[in-house]
């Protein structure tokens, strides 16, 4: 089957930001004397920031008097990091330029807030290359609900089945599949493995170079 559009996740897929998110979360949590467990961290991978902040408040109540306050503190720390700390994932720049050169309809559909999306896209120099950038913060539900992917497809004027979604997380993969899209999952190996997705998605790739090779070999956008 051929596709008409590429819809990208951002954190962990295009941008190597999951370790950076973890760093700022860890810094905040430990500043209040807590130990940040991997179990709690894994609950939030791929989730919307406000929804994860609510989970953090349940486990670490001294972080803030509201989920909104915790979310704000984390994002403030993230945006204050030196720009050189934010790097593209292997193959990300290439696949973004591949889509732009071929004038494929394309968009970001991210769990991050709009301000974080714009910040990261700006640091990567992708503002013109990915003109459509959508945040789940404006949706009724975050990933793994399909809302942000359904919204992105609607804004591109395409049926979800005509869109190929690229994801790195379990929550994001489930969201794209629930929207009726084909999803190519490229696990962020900083927190997961290829085997973690065996029961979730049949289309799992080691990196974005492998995704591009699959697209070209099968003429998925021909």
What does the alpha-carbon distance between residue 58 and residue 54 come to, in Å, rounded to a whole number?
6
What's the Cα-to-Cα distance from 52 to each of 48, 58, 220, rounded to whole Å? 6, 10, 35
Render pLDDT for 26-57 as a digit per residue (tens, 0 to 9): 999 999 999 999 999 988 887 898 999 999 99
What does the alpha-carbon distance between residue 119 and residue 2 come to, in Å, rounded to a whole number?
32
Catalytic-labelled residue, pool 11, 147, 168, 188: 11
Q: Along the 222 residues of the chain, how does pLDDT read in single tens digits?
A: 689 999 999 999 999 998 899 999 999 999 999 999 999 998 888 789 899 999 999 999 999 999 999 999 999 999 999 999 999 999 999 999 999 999 999 999 999 999 999 999 999 999 999 999 999 999 999 999 999 999 999 999 999 999 999 999 999 999 999 999 999 999 988 777 788 888 899 999 999 999 999 999 999 997
pLDDT at residue 173, rounded to an integer: 96
Q: Is 147 among the residues known to form the active site?
A: no
Catalytic-labelled residue, pool 9, 16, 50, 188: 9
Nearest to 121 by CA among 109, 113, 130, 112: 130
Please give the domain boundaries of the chain with CATH numbers for all domains: 5-16+86-218 (3.40.50.1000), 18-83 (1.10.150)
Q: Is 27 among the residues known to form the active site?
A: no
Is the N-terminal amide bond of 203 cis, ω within 30° of 0?
Answer: no
What's the Cα-to-Cα distance from 48 to each of 56, 60, 95, 108, 202, rounded to whole Å? 12, 18, 25, 14, 25
β-pairing verdict for 163-167 and 5-8: parallel
């Amino acid at each position: 089957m051929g596709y008409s559009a590429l819809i990208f996740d951002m954190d962990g897929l295009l941008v190597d930001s999951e370790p950076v998110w973890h760093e700022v979360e860890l810094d905040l949590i430990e500043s209040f004397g807590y130990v940040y467990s991997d179990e709690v961290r894994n609950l939030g991978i791929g989730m919307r920031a406000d929804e994860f902040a609510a989970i953090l408040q349940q486990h670490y109540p001294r972080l803030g008097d509201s989920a909104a306050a915790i979310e704000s503190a984390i994002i403030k720390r993230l945006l204050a990091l030196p720009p050189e700390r934010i790097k593209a994932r292997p193959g990300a720049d290439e696949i973004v330029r591949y889509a732009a050169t071929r004038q494929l309809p394309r968009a970001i559909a991210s769990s991050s807030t709009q301000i974080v999306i714009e910040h990261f896209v700006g640091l990567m120099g992708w503002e013109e290359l990915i003109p459509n950038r959508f945040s789940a913060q404006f949706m009724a539900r975050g990933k793994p609900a399909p809302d942000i992917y359904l919204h992105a497809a609607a804004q591109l004027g395409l049926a979800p089945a005509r869109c190929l979604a690229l994801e790195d997380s379990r929550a994001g993969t489930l969201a794209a599949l629930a929207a009726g899209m084909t999803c190519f999952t490229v696990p962020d190996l900083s927190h997961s493995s290829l085997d973690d997705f065996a029961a979730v998605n049949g289309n799992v790739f080691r990196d974005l170079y492998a995704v591009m090779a699959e697209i070209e070999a099968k003429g998925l956008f021909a």
